[in-house]
Amino acid sequence: MNPQKKNKRLKFNLGSFDLIKGFAIMVIILGHMCYFYDLKEMTYFTPLIFFLKPMGFLMPMFFLVSGFGFREKRAEVVFKSTVKSFLYPYAVIMVLFSVIYLTTYFFYYGNWSMALQCTFAYLLAFLLGIPKPGKIIRGFELGHCSAAWFFLASFLAFNLLNLILKFKNKRLQTLLVIGCFLVGYFINIHDVNYYCVPQGLMALGYFYAGYIFKQYRLLEFLRTKIWIYLILIPVTLIHFLLGNFNLCLGEFNYGLLDCIGAGCSALLLILAGIFLDRFEWKCFDLPRKIGLYSYWILCVHVIENDCMHWEAFISSMPNQPMAYCLELLLKILIISLGCMMLKKITQYRYKRKRAIYGI
């Protein structure tokens, strides 16, 4: 298809972002893999690792996309919907994580006492919504709820955004969002992160920005303007090379400037994704499909990333480059099987619902 002809009737919906979401979730998984390796031994992977390390701005991109698809509804409707969409998966992840982690820890290390202790440390972190490892409560060191913090943050951001939109004054909406963002930033850098409240408050800012883009059709306007790229590209490069935005851990090299830089980088990614989405190339089919199932992939990734004890797997390999390649293949297999199981469960529940209600 001629991209220019398609461009004339281009309309944006959530499916328009599947391509860039697919690329983003792949980068997130590859980036998380880097934590377990001695990068000095990964000479051949240095270019890849260089581009994977500053991946924090990918989360604002997901939040912007979520805000783009948001619609104001009655508070109880949004609450029930977000419980089902975010809290239910979070609870399922917590239970499966605890059972699998306990089993695999004993398999790797053969110590039931330590397996129970470490599993409890993670379970307590999930119950308290602690995204950052190492928090100590009454002398007991907790684990963390891993990338599942995204679900708690999204739950809070969605419901707050819906409440704020009840105020019809746009200036008041903006002030409330900015106020929430600043409060979230302040408590995040001071390591007060129970139930991912600071992450949710800060995510609200990106959610609201995505909502405004949709309301005023700003993406349609901005994508053809040269000046926006003259702003976003230099800001993204500076943020990529010098900045650090880690919403999960509350790490920001340059404070609020990193938050702005991450937002600009996220917007540039979205615009790039929209541009690439015009081309119906076969090589984009897989990333689009991955983007379509990105939340399922995230759920499986949360469990396998810690429960597989990759650090023990890596130490058992002759060298780290070989371990990296084998780990990647195993992750692809585990995540693929996990998504297939989720698809089967979803189809079963849908058929059962139809049978019950006679649809």
- Torsions phi, psi for 148 (to 5 deg): -65, -10
Give the model's confidence band at 269: pLDDT under 50 very low, under 70 low, under 90 confident, else very high: very high
Q: 3-7, 134-138, 322-326: which range is least confident on average?
A: 3-7
Q: Is the pLDDT score of 52 beyond 80?
A: no
The string of pLDDT tens digits covering residues 182-231 is 999 999 999 998 999 999 999 999 999 999 999 999 998 999 999 999 99
Give the model's confidence band at 50: pLDDT under 50 very low, under 70 low, under 90 confident, else very high: low
Region 42-66: mean pLDDT is: 76
Q: Is the pLDDT score of 90 beyond 60?
A: yes
Q: Is the pLDDT score of 48 beyond 90?
A: no
Q: Which residue has the tokens 């009655």?
A: 74
- Torsions phi, psi for 303 (to 5 deg): -75, -50
Q: Which residue has the higher pLDDT, 73 or 3?
A: 73
Q: Which residues contact 109 (CB under 8 A, 6 or more apart)?
A: 115, 312
Region 127-142: mean pLDDT is: 92
Q: What pLDDT was estimated at residue 345?
A: 87
Taking phi first (over 0 means left), then psi (-120 to 50 degrees means alpha), and beta for anything else, what does residue 194 get? beta
pLDDT over 70, % of the chain: 91
Query: Distances in Å between the alpha carbon of 308 and those of 112, 166, 172?
Result: 17, 45, 47
Q: Is the pLDDT score of 7 beyond 70?
A: no
Query: Distances in Å between the alpha carbon of 110 and those of 15, 122, 295?
Result: 46, 19, 33
Q: What pLDDT was estimated at residue 109?
A: 87
For residue 260, the one-letter residue type is I
Give the model's confidence band at 351: pLDDT under 50 very low, under 70 low, under 90 confident, else very high: confident
Give the model's confidence band at 138: pLDDT under 50 very low, under 70 low, under 90 confident, else very high: confident
pTM: 0.90
Region 122-145: mean pLDDT is: 93
Q: Is the pLDDT score of 9 beyond 50?
A: no
Average pLDDT, the chain: 89
Q: What pLDDT was estimated at residue 12?
A: 64
Q: What pLDDT was estimated at residue 34?
A: 80
